[in-house]
Structure 1
């Protein structure tokens, strides 16, 4: 796939995202309403899309364990690198290190990767295993560090940590993925009317999620001049270093080739997760930096995606 063709496939992504920015900047749609659109996408539309597609998928082909293990190994290596770099740069507070790890290693799946993969490949199925790994492993590690490092912690550490873990596992996205897998494995037959209803709602997930992200960007604004060196470093790692690291580990370390190698590189190139800002607010650490990283890495990812797609297409 050439750069021109890739740009053509990404045109709907840019349209939905750009329309949100434009309407927010012109105050046609209040930027504050981005939370409403985002909640609709995250709590309802995206889970509907994930459930229906996982239920219909061939799980044997969907869960390519070599590819997933390669991605997990690359993510683990990236976590160590960011942790060491943060410590070397003077960050000593565990929550601060955890926040930087989340920004540099976790990816924006529901709001960004799902719509981008639908536009590029017509299917977001390759994202599902990475999404489960991210939510059930990476997020739990981040939550554990954040909870145990809270200065206002009350009660036992175990009880607070357990509550945080349960809350993470009970998010609609995780429930939808697990329900789709269980019903698929049990060969439970669902009526076509039910599946069509999930598909109808799920089809709205991509444009609404991108529109919400555009509204947020249009309302918050984007100032390049005030970007700190640390922000630049994290964005470069997230959008350039991590995809290249994923390619090297998956390809040469685990023998992943073909479509799955391209999928993993593109997933790794997705911007910082939108819930980074939510975590920062909840745990009162790096709030301004988190908001800037989500917005700026999203813009950089949109610019680099056609180039990364073309680069990955010519790999073995």
Structure 2
């Protein structure tokens, strides 16, 4: 596939994303209103989309354990590299290291990867296994480090800390996104018949997920603004790793070490090329660690990704 065809497939992505940015810059819609659009997308539209797609999918094809295992190994290697480098070059504690690993390795699946995959492949179902991998493993580990890695961790009541950790992990697993996916898998496995009128309704709502998510992201970035001036070396390193090194590493390991073929090689490379997740900023705010750094990485990696997508699409 040539660059022009790749660009053609990404025109809807750029259009929805760019419209949001223009609306925010011209004050047609206030940037803070992006929260309304993201809540609709995350809490309703994307769960509707994924339930319908996963319910009607071939789960054996969807859960390609060879490909998913290769991605897991790639993500683990990336986590170790970022963690060791951060430990050697900075004086930050466990929380700072965990946050940088999250910024460099975890990807924005719900708000970015889902609409991009819908536009490129007409189906975002391949994202689901990686989404579960992130939520059930990487996010849980980051939450554990945040809870136990603070300066007051040693003096904290162990039972109280355990309860906070349990609530945080449950909250990450109890999102509408994950619940919808798990319900769809159960319904698929036990052959529960979902009425066609319900599936049609879910499809109708789910079709709005991709454009609304991109429009909301454009609103957010348009209101925040993206400036190169003032970007720190740490931000540059994290963005470069997230947008360039991690997808290249994923491609190389998946293809040359594990022998992953198409289309999963393209899926995994593009997933790895997605920007840092928005919940990185949420975690930073919650635990009061590197808030400005996290906000900057989320915004700038999102902007860089939209520029690199045609190249990654052709390469993968």
The corresponding residue for 1:125 is 125
Are the equivalent residues in 2 in contact too, given 1:91–1:97 (CA < 8 A)? Answer: no
SS in 2 for 1:258: coil
C-alpha separation between the residues in 2 aligned to 1:276 and 1:143? 11
* Cα distance in 1, alignment partners of residues 149 and 42 from structure 2: 28
Please state if 1:258 is matched with 2:239: no
Flag structure 2 segments of 5+ consecutive residues without an equivalent. none
Deviation readout 1:31-86 (Å, 9 max, x if unpaired): 01011111111111111111111111000001000000000000000000000111
Task: Map Cα deviations across residues 208-241 of structure 1 (whole Å, 9 max, x no partner).
Answer: 1111111111111111111111111111100110
For 1:274, the equivalent position in structure 2 comes to: 278
- Give the whole-Å Cα distance in 2 for the aligned partners of 1:94 and 1:40: 34
Work out whether residues 94 and 150 of structure 2, in 8 Å CA contact, stay in contact via their aligned partners in 1.
no
Matched, 1:96 2:100: no
Alpha-carbon distance, 1:152 to partner: 6.4
2:48 counterpart of 1:73: no
Distance of 1:292 and 1:211 partners within structure 2: 19
Structure 1 segments of 4 or more deviating over 3 A? Answer: 150-155
1:170 aligns to 2:194 (yes or no): no
Aligned residue in 1 for 2:116 = 116
Going from structure 1 to structure 2, the CA distance change for 1:39 and 1:150 (only over 3 Å counts) comes to farther
TM-score by length of 1: 0.96
Secondary structure of the structure 2 residue equivalent to 1:22: helix
Cα distance between partner residues in 2 of 1:35 and 1:94:
30
Q: Report SS of the residue matched to 1:124.
A: coil
Distance of 1:34 and 1:6 partners within structure 2:
28
TM-score (norm 2): 0.96
Matched residues in 1 for 2:114 and 2:152: separation? Answer: 36
1:17 maps to 17
1:150 Cα shift? Answer: 3.9
Please, which of 228, 231, 234 is the counterpart of residue 224 of structure 1?
A: 228
The residue that corresponds to 2:162 in the other structure is 158
**Whole-angstrom distance in 2 between the partners of 1:242 and 1:222:** 22
Distance in 2 (alpha carbons) for counterparts of 1:145 and 1:70: 25
Please report the RMSD computed on the Cα atoms of aligned residues, expressed in angstroms: 1.1
